[in-house]
Amino acid sequence: MLLNFLETGLYERRGKAATNFALTLPEEDSDLAQEITKDPYNFDFLTLTERYNEKEMKDALMDNAEQFFLELGRGFSYIGREVRIMVGKKEKFMDMLFFNYITRCFVVLEIKAGDFESPNTGQLGTYVVAVNHQMKEEWMNPTIGLLICKDKDEIEAQYALESSSQPLGISSYELSNLIPDNYKGSMPTIEEIEAELAD
């Protein structure tokens, strides 16, 4: 594990996400919440095509759950993917929901295959408030939201965070194992490989 941390530059990435935690959480909670973030997240264990979409990325993260949870860091307990929550009369689905036992709070995780856009914080903030109203127990700290996107403009991210009253963080991710799109159709699926090996 130590070699993995050294290899992936954890020290330089840990606690580096753009957040508004200092403005939206008590001081002792904001420092702890900041420490569970990274920027960028290293998703080099994923193998995706050049033009992947959000569903393919989330599927790949769940297919590589162990590496994904190690990259998230200590304290994250997985609750679910596409977690349903009602917002007024509308049914919404959060990409992923975790509970972090270090910060004693829910963490709503949204994954974006593209670059950060300001409206993303509104969507994430809505989910954070909904979880606080519908799922959070009295002994828990306020829910935090974490958006992981392909890339972000630091100024736009900071402005979007300052405009939100909810504790949110924005990080980017790195991917190095992209395969060209023209190989997508020619590569066998896992099911095809398993069937061939079974024969």
Which band of pLDDT confidence, cut at 50, 70 and 90, is reported for residue 182?
Answer: low
What one-letter code names the amino acid at 138?
E
What one-letter code names the amino acid at 152?
K
The pTM of the full predicted model, rounded to 2 decimals, is 0.77
pLDDT of residue 188: 67
Query: What is the per-residue DSSP string for 129-153?
Result: HHHHHHT--TTSPPPEEEEEES---
* Tokens 């992981």 belong to residue: 148
Rounded-to-integer distance, Cα 106 and Cα 111, Å = 16
2-180, CATH topology level: Trna Endonuclease; Chain: A, domain 1 (3.40.1350)
Domain residue ranges of the chain, discontinuous segments joined by +: 2-180
| Residue 161 predicted with pLDDT over 90 | yes
> What confidence tens digit (pLDDT) does each residue in 28-45 have?
888 888 888 888 888 888
Rounded-to-integer distance, Cα 29 and Cα 17, Å = 16
User: How many other CB atoms are found less than 10 A from the CB of residue 33?
Assistant: 27
> What confidence tens digit (pLDDT) does each residue in 49-92 have?
778 888 888 898 888 888 888 888 889 999 999 999 999 999 99
DSSP state of 45: T
Rounded-to-integer distance, Cα 179 and Cα 46, Å = 10
Q: Let me know: does 170 contact 157? Beta carbons within 8 Å.
A: yes
